[in-house]
Amino acid sequence: MGRPFALISVLLIAVILFSTYQASVQNPPAAPEQGPEIRSNTSTFQDLTDKAAQAAVDGEWTLCRYYIDQLQTEWDQIKPDSAHRLDTIIQVDQVLAQLHALALDQDQVGIIQATTQLTQAFSHLFSS
């Protein structure tokens, strides 16, 4: 009587181990999702920042606002969600808001200063 019980126990354990193995092979743990690659957008940000500043220097305020809007859109699409470098992320948000106001006020000097701050913030953010 002890022998059939031992055989059934071994078979039961084998079935449990096999099904657990199958489940782990067929459904591997999900890989963590990758965030957006912000390094690839460095040149886009710098290009749009330069274009906005140049449009302000040229007095092309509609074009300047357009480039600032494009810059805001790009930033909104790739802005990191994590708290990593949160101070820099907040700084970029603030400078972009300031740029919108400066473009409406048609403040050339303010635009140049703000785009310089933005370039420095992007450089700090992308250097990590």
Would you say residue 69 lies in a domain? yes
- Is residue 81 very low, low, confident or very high in pLDDT (cuts 50, 70, 90)? confident
Q: How many domains does the chain have?
A: 1
- Is residue 2 very low, low, confident or very high in pLDDT (cuts 50, 70, 90)? low
- The mean pLDDT value for 82-96 works out to 86
pTM comes to 0.67
Would you say residue 116 lies in a domain? yes
Q: Which domain holds residue 73?
A: 39-126
Query: Between 24 and 45, whose confidence is greater?
Result: 45
Would you say residue 30 lies in a domain? no
Would you say residue 58 lies in a domain? yes
Would you say residue 1 lies in a domain? no
Reduced 3-state DSSP string for the chain: CHHHHHHHHHHHHHHHHHHHHHHHHHCCCCCCCCCCCCHHHHHHHHHHHHHHHHHHHCCCHHHHHHHHHHHHHHHHHHCCCCCCCHHHHHHHHHHHHHHHHHHHHCCHHHHHHHHHHHHHHHHHHHCC
